[in-house]
């Protein structure tokens, strides 16, 4: 078997996107592929492919990529990292170490590009551990059920292999979450004035203030170019709305980013606050964001990705628990690899992880 591992050519974008669509049964438009891997805020992704040279047209049988992402801390230090994405090995070619071979080239190309850390989210733990990735923690999933019937139907549809046992567990989770949301009634409005907008620079200001208050923490560098790419130019089925509140000096105190999906539910993408003293105002703001979403957007469920890596991300979870969210620890793994040629050390537990670290396409 004659297999070659190499970088994707610019002329092959349409071809590799067709391979992806065929493999996953999706219809990802070419423009969406270019948004994700070509037109990113810090340049195009490093994209590796495996091809079978013995097949007509040198059939693409594997893919792996790294999307450049810059992290920043409260000291103003920046580090170039990359998010691992589009991992695929054709079923007929498993057992030929294509995963390892593609990553070998990807690691090399990342180092040549000055990328110091590689990270991502995955259910496939063993292959990443074998390649030297850490799994410092998993995502923690939060649910707030508004309409049990619609929520159950949607959640069971996420995995076609769900049997009676799995469906029974989902039903129990839905009913428990619904009871919890009813117990934590949101009918009473908060006593704060909040603003709804798509001015995401407000969220950026809150993140920066939080980093200044906790200089050992890191976050994605939320430049205007990044925010426009991730939130305004995103081609997937997302409709973002930001809620923010301000203190007596008219300075933004906290912000909540909500993503309204076409399926009829919403993600709370990120909850930002200046420091721990903002807990109560953040709680009130999040309550109002949930109330608005239920009343004005007629959603059947709210979802949240949480992390318990540090005090800031744990505070997000605490806010939502007080408002009636139910959390389960069954989530995707966060994988992390230090590429060794680094100038600044970043510990995974010091990263302000949220769903904004994804592309919002799932």
pLDDT in the model for residue 12: 95
Spatial distance between the Cα atoms of 232 and 227, rounded to a whole number of angstroms = 7
Q: What is the pLDDT of residues 123-156, one digit of tens each?
A: 889 999 999 999 999 999 999 999 999 999 999 9
Assign domain 3-136 to its CATH superfamily.
Gcn5-related N-acetyltransferase (GNAT) (3.40.630.30)
Spatial distance between the Cα atoms of 345 and 234, rounded to a whole number of angstroms = 31
pLDDT in the model for residue 248: 63
pLDDT band, very low/low/confident/very high, at 253 (cuts 50, 70, 90): confident
User: Percent of the chain beyond pLDDT 70?
Assistant: 96
Q: What is the pLDDT of residues 261-302, one digit of tens each?
A: 999 999 999 999 888 888 888 899 999 999 999 999 999 999
Spatial distance between the Cα atoms of 217 and 75, rounded to a whole number of angstroms = 10
Q: What is the pLDDT of residues 321-361, one digit of tens each?
A: 999 999 998 789 999 999 977 778 999 999 999 999 998 87
Angular region, 237: left φ>0, alpha ψ -120 to 50, beta rest: beta
Q: What is the pLDDT of residues 154-182, one digit of tens each?
A: 999 988 788 888 899 899 999 988 998 88
Contacts of 69 (CB under 8 A, 6+ apart): 42, 80, 81, 82, 83, 220, 357
Strand partners, 82: 68, 118
> Domain ranges in the chain?
3-136, 140-330
Angular region, 321: left φ>0, alpha ψ -120 to 50, beta rest: alpha
The CA-based dihedral angle spanning residues 94, 100, 102, 104, taken in that order and rounded to the nearest 10 degrees: -170
Average pLDDT, the chain: 90
Q: Which residue has the higher pLDDT, 7 or 212?
A: 7
Give me the CATH topology for the region 140-330: Aminopeptidase (3.40.630)
- What's the whole-number mean pLDDT along residues 114-118? 96
- Phi, psi angles (nearest 5°) of residue 55: -95, 150
Q: Which of 183-187, 251-255, 305-309 has the lowest mean pLDDT?
A: 183-187
pLDDT in the model for residue 249: 66
Q: Which residue has the higher pLDDT, 362 or 93?
A: 93
- What's the whole-number mean pLDDT along residues 109-116? 96
Name the strand (E) or helix (H) holding 320: helix 311-322
pLDDT in the model for residue 114: 95
CB 227 within 8 A of CB 40: no
What are the DSSP E strand ranges found in the chain? Answer: 3-7, 46-52, 59-73, 78-89, 117-122, 134-138, 140-145, 194-197, 218-220, 240-246, 252-260, 266-273, 301-306, 326-328, 333-338
Angle at 262 (CA atoms; ends 258, 264), nearest 5 degrees: 75
**Maximum distance among all Cα pairs of the chain, rounded to whole angstroms:** 70
Asked whether this chain's domains 3-136 and 140-330 adopt the same fold, the reply is yes
């Amino acid at each position: 078997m004659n297999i070659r591992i190499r970088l994707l050519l610019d002329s092959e974008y349409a071809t590799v996107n067709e391979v992806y669509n065929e493999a996953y049964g999706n219809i990802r438009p070419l423009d969406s592929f270019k948004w994700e891997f070509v037109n990113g805020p810090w340049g195009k992704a490093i994209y590796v492919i495996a091809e079978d040279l013995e097949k007509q047209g040198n059939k693409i049988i594997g893919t792996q990529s790294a999307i450049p992402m810059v992290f920043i801390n409260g000291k103003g230090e920046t580090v170039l990292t990359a998010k691992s994405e589009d991992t695929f090995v054709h079923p007929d070619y498993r057992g030929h170490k294509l995963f390892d071979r593609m990553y070998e080239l990807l690691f090399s190309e990342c180092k040549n590009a000055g990328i110091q850390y590689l990270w991502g989210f995955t259910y496939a733990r063993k292959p990443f551990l074998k390649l030297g990735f850490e799994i410092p923690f998993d995502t923690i999933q939060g649910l707030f059920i508004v309409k049990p019937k619609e929520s159950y139907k949607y959640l069971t549809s996420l995995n076609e292999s769900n049997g009676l046992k799995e469906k029974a567990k989902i039903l129990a989770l839905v009913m428990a979450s619904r009871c919890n949301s009813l117990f934590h009634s949101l009918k009473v409005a908060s006593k704060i004035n909040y603003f709804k907008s798509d001015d995401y620079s407000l969220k950026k200001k809150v993140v920066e203030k939080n980093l200044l208050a906790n200089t050992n923490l890191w976050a994605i560098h939320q430049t205007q170019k990044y925010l426009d790419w991730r939130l305004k130019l995103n081609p997937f089925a997302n409709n973002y709305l930001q809620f923010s509140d301000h203190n007596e000096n008219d300075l933004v105190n906290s912000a909540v980013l909500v993503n309204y999906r076409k399926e009829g539910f919403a993600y709370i993408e990120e909850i930002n606050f200046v420091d721990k003293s903002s807990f109560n105002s953040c709680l009130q703001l999040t309550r109002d964001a949930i109330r608005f979403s239920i009343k004005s957007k007629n959603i059947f469920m709210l979802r949240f990705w949480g992390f318990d890596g540090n005090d800031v991300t744990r505070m997000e979870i605490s806010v939502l628990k007080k408002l009636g969210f139910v959390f389960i620890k069954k989530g995707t793994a966060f994988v992390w690899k230090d590429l060794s040629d680094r100038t600044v050390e970043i510990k995974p537990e010091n990263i302000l992880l949220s769903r904004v670290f994804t592309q919002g396409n799932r």
